[in-house]
Amino acid sequence: MNKYSSVSILEVPLDFNSSHIRGPALAPPIIRRVLMNGSANTTSESGIDVAKDERVKDAGVVSWETEAQAFVNIEQKCTELAEQGSKILTLGGDHSITYPIVKALAKKHQGLTILHFDAHPDLYDNQDGNKHGHGCPFARIMEGKYAARLVQLGIRTLNRHQAEQAEQFGVEVHEMKNWSVDTPLNLTGPLYISFDLDGLDPAFAPGVSHFEPGGLSVREVLQVLKKIDLPVVGADIVEYNPKTDINEMTAMVCAKIYKELAAMLLKDLN
């Protein structure tokens, strides 16, 4: 049995693996500020006040001296937290950070399923030679067998290379063009949820680095999350870019997703 007694909120200000524009390193304090700015309350739709729940812990910020050290430190911090019996919810970062996080959690959990919200499959073998580009994390995760299943939602940019990668790794890609909120996902636990803001339609979340029209609504995401009745052991909220946001409306979407994910993580603590 894997016992957990708390949920750690961990800030990961990393965006040097972004292929287009930077910005997600600035995200964590903004998400935290808007969550608490008084414009909305801090209770999830499932009825848990995530700001008042003392089982939610502040794990601070992951830091590093050199870029080469960053993934090592992220993995080490997540490994420590998991060993201490804390689930992890990370804030900020480009999507490359999901690799060291999942690698850490895989030490504790065999057979993880990843539910991955994104416009992009992020299965590139490399990006301009960078094996850890923000379009590559799920190639690294599946190659390393750090997850048993990868279930992707919101996808609308599947090119030939990534379709081949998806087939090779057995990725369950639910392309936006064929998906509805009633599409069965047959999820199995333990579950890790990776939430890239650009899985949403840019109309709902303009504060991203790669605008891809035709995406999910916030409500569709909430409906998918509401149906999940499995142990969730970790989650990330990545690719929020404050530099392209409008009136912090995307920051508020991050805060909304934060509340729901934190509530899900709290659900089956011992």
Interface ranges with Mn ion (CB under 5 A) = 118-120, 196, 198
149 CB burial (10 A radius; 0-12, 13-18, 19+): middle
Distance in Å, CB of 145 to Mn ion, minimum: 23
Q: Which is nearer to Mn ion, 59 or 257 (CB)?
A: 257
Q: Which is nearer to Mn ion, 118 or 220 (CB)?
A: 118
Contact 52, 230 (CB under 8 A): no
Q: Which is nearer to Mn ion, 8 or 152 (CB)?
A: 152
Q: Which is nearer to Mn ion, 190 or 199 (CB)?
A: 199
Q: Beta-carbon neighbour count of residue 206 at 10 Å? A: 18
Distance in Å, CB of 138 to Mn ion, minimum: 11
- Establish how many alpha carbons lie within 13 A of residue 23's alpha carbon, considering only the half-sphere containing its beta carbon: 17
Omega cis (within 30) before 206: no
Q: Which is nearer to Mn ion, 64 or 211 (CB)?
A: 211
Distance in Å, CB of 37 to Mn ion, minimum: 26
Q: Which is nearer to Mn ion, 198 or 201 (CB)?
A: 198
User: Any idea how long the chain is?
Assistant: 270
- In sequence order, the β-bridge partners of residue 193 are 115, 235
How far is residue 226's CA from residue 122's CA, in Å, rounded to a whole number?
25
Distance in Å, CB of 210 to Mn ion, minimum: 6
Distance in Å, CB of 196 to Mn ion, minimum: 4
How far is residue 234's CA from residue 113's CA, in Å, rounded to a whole number?
11
Q: Which residue is nearest to Mn ion (CB)?
A: 120
Distance in Å, CB of 243 to Mn ion, minimum: 16
Residue/partner pairs of 139-142 with CB below 8 Å, 24 or more apart:
139/165, 139/169, 140/99, 141/98, 141/99, 141/102, 141/103, 141/114, 142/169, 142/170, 142/171
